[in-house]
Amino acid sequence: MKQLRILIILLAAAFGASGVLTSCIEDSISTSPSDQPAFSLEELDLGDLFTLGPSPTSRFTVYNRHDKGMLISSVRFVDDPDGYFRLNVDGVAGRDFSDIEIRAKDSIFVFVEATLPENGQDAPVEVTANIEFVVNGVASRIPVRANGQDVTRITGDYRIAASETLSATKPYQVMDSIVVDEGATLTIPAGARLYFHDSARMVVYGSLRVEGESGNHVTMTGDRSGFVAAQIPYEVMSGQWGGILFNPTSRANSISYASIRNSTYGLVLDNVPSADGQPALYLHNSVVRNAKEYLVSATNSDVTAIGCELADSGFGLLYLYGGNHTINRCTLANYYLFSAAMPALNLDHTGKGGEFDPDTEHPFLTADITNTIIYGNGKEISHWYFTGPEQTGVDNDIVGCQVFFRRCLFKPAGTDDDNYLNCLWDSDPEWNVDRNEYIFDYRPSPESPAATGADAALDPVPSAVACDLLGVPRPYGGAVGAYEPHTPDPAE
């Protein structure tokens, strides 16, 4: 009997403890008008959105910071009679919500999307609405705004069969591909903006002329905006679209003052010959950044790059197989986010003695690289060379090859020789890079050895480097790399 009494006492204590826990979990609901929710933001800005297309999903948090539960009697959009905006409250989609409970010291997420109508304007048109929350008879509002941008959508294989010039008045959204036929020329004027959908690309059998201007660049990038997750912006994501392919029938391509970003394979040149003294690709004062593979891959195709930022890629910045290349006043920087940084400059099919490969009859690679920064997390140069019939090797020894680095800045310590002339060894450009904060500012500081380190006598086209990539005039000599020095603003 004594054991039975002990068991009864223990069971009663257990049930009593359960009741205490239950009463702790169950919150009473506040009815006081002074108990109101708090929000993680005061206003939600969805940014510029292409009309007729769904926006990225944005979210914010609604907090109950009180000691009692909170009942939101109503959540809805007001001032949105046409239903341009959409809500998802605590995991449930809809337009009007009632009796949403938030327990004491807890919170819920609210997700917002929009599909805006065409507005018939070239410039973005602002559309606004308010999300209203009613708690204990008191209404709170979160303003929501978005800028609707009309676009010209290109679907299917859009073929350029003759010379054509795109418009700069409103953006293009390329859903599939732009194909420039053999013999045709596509001109992209200053201020034009091309946004490429997933896997979309440009294929050039004829000629491409990108004619941006200082302060009015041409933009070519992916069509996603907003954030991938949390605070990771799409702007740092590579592989959002294919890239630009130049085929063997292509001729005399030029790209000036352009920003080409976030592609898979960047710019690919496949056995594109030079013509009338012009290289396969002339790249001037442009940014090619953040490719999943190479930024520029050229096979037996001459490339001239002057005043360019070539930065951040998964396979390496440049892969040059054969061809005759001029790289002047460029910044080659690799701090790629999503894999270990590969060698910045990959040189293939160079010869140690002789001019032509006896097997392929293609000339060996030649390159003159001047007043250029080659820097980053990975190795600077990977060099494949031809040593004899059916023999290749790889090392960093370019002695005997027609590859020259003149007044270039490198991270490692080194010494000049017949191929490295008057270089800045063991030097730091002192630019503003913080991968954790997604800051990639490749302008050198005024204290950097790059700031006044250039040799103007090495510039093959002095007029092409009169201003840097951002339009800052260069003094005689000036900075090594694509940019003149910059003092960061504490607010940046």
Determine the average pLDDT of the residues in 179-196: 98
Residue 401: predicted pLDDT: 85
Quote the tokens at residue 186. 């596509």
Determine the average pLDDT of the residues in 285-305: 97
pLDDT digits (tens, 9 = 90+) for 110-165: 999 999 999 999 999 999 999 999 999 999 999 999 999 999 999 999 999 999 99
Residue 230: predicted pLDDT: 62
Q: Which of 51-55, 247-251, 436-440 has the highest mean pLDDT?
A: 247-251
Q: Is the pLDDT of residue 5 over 50?
A: no
pLDDT digits (tens, 9 = 90+) for 204-240: 999 999 999 999 999 999 998 877 766 777 888 899 9
Quote the tokens at residue 99. 């009796």
Q: Is the pLDDT of residue 16 over 80?
A: no
Residue 360: predicted pLDDT: 64
Determine the average pLDDT of the residues in 392-402: 64
Q: Is the pLDDT of residue 100 over 80?
A: yes
Q: Residue 4's pLDDT band (boundaries 50, 70, 90)?
A: very low
Q: Is the pLDDT of residue 279 over 50?
A: yes
Residue 386: predicted pLDDT: 46
Residue 381: predicted pLDDT: 87
With contact defined as beta carbons under 8 Å apart, do 357 and 390 qualify? Answer: no
pLDDT digits (tens, 9 = 90+) for 339-369: 877 889 999 888 765 566 656 667 889 999 9
Q: Is the pLDDT of residue 286 over 80?
A: yes
Residue 25: predicted pLDDT: 45
Q: Is the pLDDT of residue 243 over 80?
A: yes
pLDDT digits (tens, 9 = 90+) for 406-465: 999 999 998 999 999 999 999 999 998 888 888 899 999 999 999 999 999 999 999 999
pLDDT digits (tens, 9 = 90+) for 316-341: 999 999 999 999 999 999 999 888 77
Q: Is the pLDDT of residue 180 over 80?
A: yes
